Every structure is written in structure tokens, then in C-alpha cells.
Amino acid sequence: MNPQMAPSRKGESEPRRASARPAVELAIDGRTVSVPEGTTILGACRGIGIEIPTLCYLETLRPVNVCRLCMVEVDGSRVLVPSCSRPVEAGMKVHTGTERVRHTRKLVLELLASSVDLSTTPGIDALLQEYGCRPERFGPRAAAADAGVRDGAVAGHHEPPDPRTAATVAQPVKVDNDLYVRDYGKCILCYKCVEACGPDHQNTFAIAVAGRGFEARISTEMAVTLPDSACVYCGNCIAVCPTGALMVRSEFDMRAAGTWDEARQTKTDTICPYCGVGCTLTLHVQDGQIVKASSPLANDITRGNLCIKGRFGWRFVQPRERDGRAREGDACA
Amino acid sequence: MDIRLPEAEPSDEERIAIDALLGPPESAWDGGSRGRSRDSHVSYGGRAARERRHLLLPALQALQARVGWISEGGLGYVCARLSVPPADAWGVATFYALLATEPRPRRVVHVCDDIACRARGARALTAAIESECGAPLPHAENGGHIALDRERPAWMRSPCLGLCDAVPAALVTEAGTSPIERQLGNVTIGLVRSLLAGAAPPKTDGAAEAMVPQRGDPALRLLARAGSVDPTRLDAYRAAGGGKALARALELGPERVIAEVVESKLVGRGGAAFPTGRKWDAVRRQPATPHYLICNADESEPGTFKDRVLLTHDPFAVVESMAIAGFATGCEKGYLYLRAEYPLAHERIGNALSQMRRAGMLGENILGRGVRFDIEIRRGAGAYICGEETAIFESIEGKRGEPRNKPPYPVQHGLFGKPTVVNNVETLANIPRIVLEGGAAFARTGTAQSTGTRLFCLSGNVARPGVYEVACGTTLGALLELAGGVPNGRRLAAILLGGAAGAFVRPDELGLRLTHEDTRAAGVTLGSGVVMVFDETVDLHDAVLRIAAFFRDESCGQCVPCRVGTVRQEEALHRIAGGCARGGVAAELALIDEIGVAMRDGSICGLGQTAYAAVESAVKRLRLFPTAERKKS
């Protein structure tokens, strides 16, 4: 799927195909650019090599424009504009690096970094540095909430803030099955997992955003555990998670043991051995052991998606004795 | 869609409540029993059920009204009936403050502790309730999970209930076969005590709250009938001149009606001040069908109660205005989205709809001229954000009230993805006069750019709080005088103009003319017509903290600047108030300003974009937080 054609989740219906679309001329940072109608500002910028940071955007999902990191300034617009979802218009004048743009991006990064654990978010340190972020200026982080407290928050009510600390979404990791963990202390609420589980990819609808405001959270119905939910363990939510809040169990356990080392890993593309679809499978191998399986986002067939077998059903490849992590009762070993 | 439903069964009570709304299930596929009704070997429901998704919120409200909370079994039954995934329905149920997803007592007294009520004793009231009757729900220690006696009434704090002319205000809700919803004004500790002891809430016809201090003034237009004509009888409305505008509009035809509205230069009264005629014309021209009309009666801006007065005391006029708007913009269906906290308005509008249907003023063949238009009432469930014009679509569609990014604009892509016109109650209430007198005559009142009259909600420390109608261009001082000024010989300290999303103005700014152009030039806004008056005895720091808490509570949580920014704003204000400012007050104010600018520039909707407005005005206009340097000078 052409990422530039992605319609907004709550936006207009599918734009026409690229070939049928007339060109639109606009100015980006003073440069005149011509792109097919329906292209997003982000697509137009990337087309001419202007890098715009994103968190909630992914080329395989419909843009939800909630993280507000990709904001740009458009002449005539009272407020900044999310470049990931806004289609270009003829004569538009876009500015991607103004003081206003940099200010909002900096604050978005600081607000997230002060309230969410971004320690496993790829690329975040460089961004925090580039925008001169000092998330610690909001105060020391508050202690983590007890298990279940955030899941039970009541809309429209909150305790008066503690002036000594800055509120966070920190909470215990949800480990309720053998295949993947949910560490919502790392969740930036980008909605990607909800979209991947729901209408954009899997159509399982096991999770949704619940609650409101700062207490908004990703949840199953009644916050039940995954085995009690509609989850089918395809792991397509893990594939789209930008922060490592959703993580395969093998990676989570190795990180806990201090043995996870991406520098020592190789990635090898192969074909999933299970069914006739033949999904492309990327095996992540460390020290001669498969430690994770994924599928390339750019693959036309999978678009990064797999099923429970492809994503988790590879442990038979390596003998149980040699796999220190394999345990009795492993669901897919 | 393959839905996995919870295992818990609904109770009989829950089943009855849902079936009363949706009708009995057709087969085991949509929640019925196996083999009894239609053949369970054939799949019914499916897409047909999903097309009723928009009934999710009414269904959850039916459970809340009957049982007092939404149980696993109840939620599962709703999901089966409407083919909604349970996680999705849970997300909706947990979004709305007046829906409980944990057991809650059947009776709950919601006591307003928002700014207008606080200016006149609400803090003392809630403190007294807390010491006499115990802590409010939700109890924090268990994250809301508590074992409780559901037959024992409890109380909760509430944001503004829209009864700021009769403070302190409360809303009583009691679930059961005959659920009770009652909004009460001038609440005392004695009343709350008796309500919590189980006494029946006093009856009210809204008269005590019908504070139209100008009643009887022949110059009144929007309020001409409020408080003086029986709001329950169509014949009384007609005798007072009602109904003529609809007939006249049908004679004129849609184009002429829109032309008159354009010429009247009427702009929206909900806060955004968009030209109504232009909006109507844009919807009228959209080729996609059907078109929808929404009357935004989700008046939740703290300090706003003008729409309540119109809905409660002149309901036929609201309905007639909607019919004209629907006719002009090519709609056959209109929704009136009413905030949950206005039960009397709900009753009165419902009554007006049925009487006007009987009289042929709504329905398949309006006034015998072949025009089709009807109205459905949809009720909010305790979410300020749902008054935002795109959040209202999401809410009516049965989803979480999360605003949409614009563009596309509602005139092209609104409710159910169709061209939609959204108008505030007061905006619509101007329409009959424009149709009858013509746009040019309407525009002669007010100023060149701000035409007509406007309703202002006077609350706080004024002698005669209530809704006032004055011509645009009247000064703030004259309006304050009309309401009797600040009583008890006290000094005016500040006025909050436009609501929590508005701005504080100083006592030396009473010469401000109440027009869009003058307020814009002064860097403030008319907003939804809030004029909340604070005298020298009011703790303005406390008011600012309450506004910050309000935005934190009411943020939908969708976008980062608002979701986290409202939290950081409140925290910094608390640090200043608590005397523990990090790096000094000036540094905290600079931090708040940085957050505020990012919220204004980067948020998806008007809530986040204005969440800093009142705080900013308190800092910059009132200079409420003296920094060390300023103190010295």
C-alpha cells in the first residue's frame, strides 16, 4: 500500500489511485514541490528529503495524528498542522523547521519523556537531544501505581497532584501469558496496537482505548487478562508498537536477564514454514539462537503482519536442551 | 467480525432494560435464546446489528438508569445485541463520567464544586458533606474498586452542572424501574443529608432556577417567552406567536431562508462564532446525502446555562428553529444532543417533539407541504468534550467522544461521514426572528460586525444572577449593572469572561464592549456568554486551580499536548500555590507558558487549544502570581 494514500482514521474515504491523481503544487520551506493529489504533507516532505519525526505514524496504518510530533506550520492556519494526515493543497506554504514547530515538538517529546518510560524506544535519545529536551524540569517522577489502579481509574475524577513529583503512567508489567508482555508504563498511547488489532489489520478487536485524559489506557474489556480476552496472539500489535511497551516474551526475558544484545544479532529473511501463504519471516538470531521472529513492514504480502505460528512457533527449530529459556509447558515450543 | 463475548450472563433486569430500547433479540445470534425464536442455524444480526452501533451509548445509558452500573453481563449483552466487540464497548463505557463500570450505589448525589459554585459556598458545602456523610466516590485507596452497599446512597463531586444561577447545585441520579434524575439548586447540607438518608428529592419545575431577571421586558427577543409562557403546551406557544416562522420558511424556500440568515450576519453562539449562513449554505450545496442537523445542547462550559433556560422554558422555539434549519439545509433528520445533567430540559423537549409531531410541525409531511424532517434526542453521559463539534459526531455514532482532526470539515464529512450542520441552541433560537423580520432587520440590532442580541450567563458574586439578553455592543459594566452589580458593598476583583476556555478580565476593563471585534482586540473572547463575577472575598488562586483540574479531568486523552500538558499545567500551579515552586515563581510561570503555547499550537481540538487561556489571563492580565521581582517593585 502506498503510504501516501493512507486516509485518516476519522477522515475522508479512500483517495483515488495514484495514477489517476493530478499533480498538486505547493511550497515546502521555500522549495516548490509537485506531488500527486492526496499525498500527505509528510509524504511530500519525505519525497524531497526533509525528515519529520513521527511516533504514532506508520506507513501500514491509517494515520490517527495523535502524538503531534510531526506538526508543521502552514500559512493561513491558526494552529499547527499534523503532517502525517493532512493532504497537500494547491498553493499551500509549509514550514517544517520554524520556532513554533520546534517548540511544539520539543514539548511533545518532553511531556512524553517525563510521563512514560522511553528506555526501549528506538531513536528517542537522538530526538530528545536534537530538540534540547529536559523532561526532568517537570519534577522528579512519581512512584509507579500499584497493579490495577490505572485500569480502575474513573473518568472525570483525579486526586489533587502531589507538588513534589511529576505524574507518570508507570505501573507493573502485565505478564499473563507465555508469548508476549504488556508494559504500559512504556505506552505513549499512539493507538497503533488498537488499529493493528482492529480494523487496519487483524480485525480481532481485543483491545481498545479505555478511560479518559491522562488516565486513558489500552485495555481489554473489563481489563481482563489476555487469555480471557479475544486476543489471538498474532502479535501484530507488537510489530507496530513504537516504544517496546508490547514485547515478545523471549526478548523481555533476555532483557531482564541482561543477555539481550542487538549488536550481536543478525536478521535473516526466510519463508514461514506453516501454510501456503508463505509469509516472509525475519529471524532475529543471537549467538546461534533464534530470539525473535518478525516480518518486514515493506513486504507487500504481510505488511509486517504474521499469525501466532509465524511469530511465535519457531522454537522447534532449536533443540530444547540448548535453549536455556525454554520451559515446561511453553505454548508453542 | 468474530466477537468473543464475556461469559457472564446478563441479569433479567439488564435484559429488560436493553430489550426495552432495542426490542427483543431475533435469534441466538444477537443475544436471544437458542432454538426458540428464529433459526439459530442461520446467521442473523451481523451487519444489520452493526448498523445499529450508534445505539451503543443509549444502551449503556439504559443499563446505568436501570441498574446503576454497567456489569460484565450487561456489557456483554449489549455487545451481542449490537455486534460490538466488548473491548470497544468498554472503551466507550469508561469514557463517560456518568456511566459507572464498577458497582455504584443506586442513588448518587453529584455535588457541583466548580468555579461558580465555589465562588458562593460550594467548598464549605462539600467540606460539611465530607465530615458528616463521609468521603465522596470514587474512593481513591483502591483505585475505585470498593465493596459497597448499593442500597446506601453516596455522593460525588461534579464539574459545572449548568445551574450557576442557583448555587450550590447538585444532580441526583437513582437507578431503578422508575429512575430518578433531578437537578437541584440552592443546595444545603440539610438537603444533602436527607438525600443521602434516602429521602425523595424535592420536585422542581425549574421555576426556582428559571432566573430570567428581565422577564416581562418588551425588548426581549430570545427570552420573550421564557418564564412567561407555559413551556409544556403548544397552544400557549402558538398563542404567543410561535410557529409562524416555520410556515413562513416553507413559503420562502431554502434559498431565501439561507439568504436571510446570511444577511443577518448571525454568528454561532457556542463559542467559535462561525457565520451561520455560510455554514448552512455550505451544507445545502453538498451533493452527498443524507444531510444531518445537530443542535448542540451539550452546554458544559463552566458557568454556562443560557441554553438550559431556552431548552427548559421555550422548548417549542428550539424545535421550531431546528425544523427551519433542517428544511433550509436539506436535512431530513436532526439530532438534539443534550447534556445529561439537564433532565427537565429532556422532559420538556421530548414533550415538545411529540406535540409538534401531532400538530404536523414535524414528521413526514410538515404543514402539509411535503417536507420531511424529524428530530431525535441523544443525551450525553458526562463529558465536556462532547460539546466539541466533531466529538459530538463520535458520541452520537456510539464511540468515545474523541474529536476529529479538521479538515475534513463537518459541512463535508460530519455525522456518519455525511454533510452535517452543527448549531448551538442559542444560535438556532435566533432563526425564527430572522425568518419573520428578515436578515436586514435583524442586523440593525447590535454592531456592524456583531449583530443581534446575545444571552449572557451572570453568575458568581452578583446581586441577581441569571441569563440576560442584551444587544451586542453593550458594555461589560452595563451588563454587570443590569445584574445589580457586586452585592454587600464588596469590591469587584475579577470577571471570568467566556468560561473556563475564556479569560479573566480586570475591574478596570468594564468599558469593554461585548462584541466579537472588541473582545478579540482586547485578547479575550465572548465564548459561550459566561460572565462569572468574583468579589474580593473569592480565592482566585483556588479558582485557577479548579479550572486547571477541570481541563485535566475533561481532556479526552487522545493527543499528547493536551493529555499530558493539562497534567503538567495543574502540577506547576499547585507547586506555586503550595509555596514550593521549582526555581522560583517566575520559572514556573515560564514553564506553564511553554506548556500552554504547545497545547494551543499542537492540540487536536478547541479544548486543548484553550486549556491555557484562563490560566494565561490570570497570570498576564490579573498578575495573580507575583514573582519575586514584581513583589520588590
Residue recorded with cell 458526562? B382
Interval A217-239 mean pLDDT: 97
C-alpha cell at A53: 519525526
- What's the pLDDT at A17? 53
Omega before B85 cis (within 30°)?
A: no
Using one digit for the tens of pLDDT, what is the confidence trace for B132-142? 999 999 875 44
Per-residue CA distances from B432 to B306, B329, B358, B360, B442 (Å)? 18, 15, 21, 18, 11
Using one digit for the tens of pLDDT, what is the confidence trace for B297-315? 999 999 999 999 999 999 9
Using one digit for the tens of pLDDT, what is the confidence trace for B272-298? 899 999 999 999 999 999 999 999 999
User: What does the H/E/C string look like for A206-231?
Assistant: CCEEECCHHHCEEECHHHCCHHHCCC
Q: Which of A110, A157, A182, A215 to mutate to test the interface with B (most CBs of B within 10 A)?
A: A157
Q: Which residues pair with A311 in a beta bridge?
A: none
Q: Which residues pair with A210 in a beta bridge?
A: A217
- Residues ≥6 apart with Cβ < 8 Å to A134: A110
For residues B198, B203, B208 and B211, what is the CA-based torsion angle, rounded to 10 degrees? 100
Q: Does A14 touch chain B (CB under 8 A)?
A: no
Inter-chain CB pairs, A–B, below 8 Å: 235
- What's the pLDDT at B551? 98
Question: Nearest Cα to B280, choosing from B317, B298, B248, B254?
Answer: B254
Out of B88, B571, B594, closest to residue A161 by CB: B571
Å from A210 to nearest chain B CA? 4
Q: Which of B1, B520, B560 to mutate to test the interface with A (most CBs of A within 10 A)?
A: B560
Using one digit for the tens of pLDDT, what is the confidence trace for B206-239? 766 667 999 989 999 999 999 999 999 999 999 9
Q: Which domains does chain B have, with CATH numbers?
A: 12-93 (no CATH), 107-196 (3.40.30.10), 234-443 (3.40.50.11540), 453-535 (3.10.20.600), 540-632 (1.20.1440.230)
Q: Which residues pair with B109 in a beta bridge?
A: B155, B172
Residue B144 has pLDDT above 90, yes or no: no
Residue B6's φ and ψ, nearest 5 degrees, are -65, 155
Interchain pair A216, B157: CB under 8 A: no
Q: What angle do CA B413, B417, B420 make, to 5 degrees?
A: 55
> What's the CA gap between A97 and A235, in Å, rounded?
36
C-alpha cell at B514: 461585548
Interchain pair A66, B559: CB under 8 A: yes
- What's the pLDDT at B44? 61
For residues B548, B549, B553 and B554, what is the CA-based torsion angle, rounded to 10 degrees? -40
Out of B75, B407, B575, closest to residue A163 by CB: B575
Question: Nearest Cα to B1, choosing from A204, A239, A6?
Answer: A204
Interface of A with B in 74-93 (CB under 8 A): 79-80, 82, 85-86
> What's the CA gap between B382 and B270, in Å, rounded?
18
Buried b (16+ CB within 10 A) or exposed e, A193-217: bbbbbbebbbebbbbbbbbbbbbbb
Q: For residue B397, is it left (φ>0), alpha (ψ between -120 and 50) or beta?
A: alpha
Q: What angle do CA B15, B21, B22 make, to 5 degrees?
A: 80
> What's the CA gap between B620 and B504, in Å, rounded?
10
Cβ-based contacts of B73 with chain A (< 8 Å): none
Residue B121 has pLDDT above 90, yes or no: yes
- What's the pLDDT at B140? 55
Question: What is the sign of the dihedral through the CA atoms of B326, B332, B337 and B343?
Answer: positive
* Residue A12 confidence class, pLDDT cut points 50, 70, 90: very low
> What's the CA gap between A44 and A71, in Å, rounded?
14
DSSP state of B507: G
> Do residues A32 and A24 make contact, with C-beta atoms less than 8 angstroms apart?
no
Å from A185 to nearest chain B CA? 14
Interchain pair B407, A189: CB under 8 A: no
Interchain pair B554, A156: CB under 8 A: yes
Residue B614 has pLDDT above 80, yes or no: yes
| pTM of the model as a whole | 0.95
- What's the pLDDT at B40? 54
Q: What is the β-pairing status of strands B453-460 and B530-535?
A: parallel
> What's the CA gap between B551 and B565, in Å, rounded?
10
- What's the pLDDT at B485? 97
- As a whole number, the mean pLDDT across chain A is 92
Cβ-based contacts of B400 with chain A (< 8 Å): 209
Interval A163-174 mean pLDDT: 97
Cβ-based contacts of B413 with chain A (< 8 Å): 11-12
Q: Does B114 touch chain A (CB under 8 A)?
A: no
Residue A305 has pLDDT above 60, yes or no: yes
> Do residues A63 and A85 make contact, with C-beta atoms less than 8 angstroms apart?
yes
Residue A149 has pLDDT above 50, yes or no: yes
- What's the pLDDT at B32? 80
Question: Nearest Cα to B168, choosing from B127, B198, B196, B138?
Answer: B127
Interval B612-616 mean pLDDT: 98
Per-residue CA distances from A18 to A32, B122, B295 (Å)? 20, 60, 39
Residue A328 has pLDDT above 60, yes or no: no
C-alpha cell at B146: 470498593
Q: Does B273 touch chain A (CB under 8 A)?
A: no
Interval A292-303 mean pLDDT: 95
Å from B152 to nearest chain A CA? 20
What residue of B is the nearest CA neighbor of A86?
B407
Residue A329 has pLDDT above 50, yes or no: no
- What's the pLDDT at B29? 76
- What's the pLDDT at A332? 44
* Residue A160 confidence class, pLDDT cut points 50, 70, 90: very high
- What's the pLDDT at B633? 40
Interface of A with B in 198-257 (CB under 8 A): 198, 203-216, 219-222, 224, 229-230
What residue of A is the nearest CA neighbor of B156?
A157
ipTM of this predicted structure: 0.95
Per-residue CA distances from A219 to A209, B88, B91 (Å)? 6, 9, 8
Interface of B with A in 27-86 (CB under 8 A): 72, 75, 85-86
Using one digit for the tens of pLDDT, what is the confidence trace for B400-421? 999 999 999 999 999 999 999 9
Interval B456-484 mean pLDDT: 97
Å from A28 to nearest chain B CA? 19
Out of B94, B145, B417, closest to residue A211 by CB: B94
Residue A10 has pLDDT above 70, yes or no: no
> Do residues B559 and B532 make contact, with C-beta atoms less than 8 angstroms apart?
no
Out of B143, B408, B553, closest to residue A156 by CB: B553
> What's the CA gap between B11 and B1, in Å, rounded?
26
Interchain pair B575, A68: CB under 8 A: no
Interval B358-371 mean pLDDT: 97
Question: Nearest Cα to B467, choosing from B342, B356, B303, B628?
Answer: B303
* Residue A330 confidence class, pLDDT cut points 50, 70, 90: very low
HSE-up of residue B478 (Cα within 13 Å, Cβ side): 11
Out of B87, B413, B552, closest to residue A221 by CB: B87
Buried b (16+ CB within 10 A) or exposed e, A158-179: beebebeebbbbbbebbeeebb
- As a whole number, the mean pLDDT across chain B is 94
> What's the CA gap between B302 and B548, in Å, rounded?
12
- Give the 3-state secondary structure of residue B149: coil
Interchain pair B591, A104: CB under 8 A: no
Q: Does B571 touch chain A (CB under 8 A)?
A: yes
Out of A86, A155, A208, closest to residue B97 by CB: A155
> Do residues A186 and B595 make contact, with C-beta atoms less than 8 angstroms apart?
no
Å from B102 to nearest chain A CA? 8
Percent of residues, chain B, with pLDDT higher than 90: 90
Q: Does B514 touch chain A (CB under 8 A)?
A: no
Alpha-carbon Rg of chain A, whole angstroms? 21
DSSP state of B446: B
Q: Which domains does chain A have, with CATH numbers?
A: 3-97 (3.10.20.740), 102-141 (no CATH), 180-322 (2.20.25.90)
Interchain pair B565, A111: CB under 8 A: yes
> What's the CA gap between B546 and A24, in Å, rounded?
48
Residue B146 has pLDDT above 80, yes or no: no
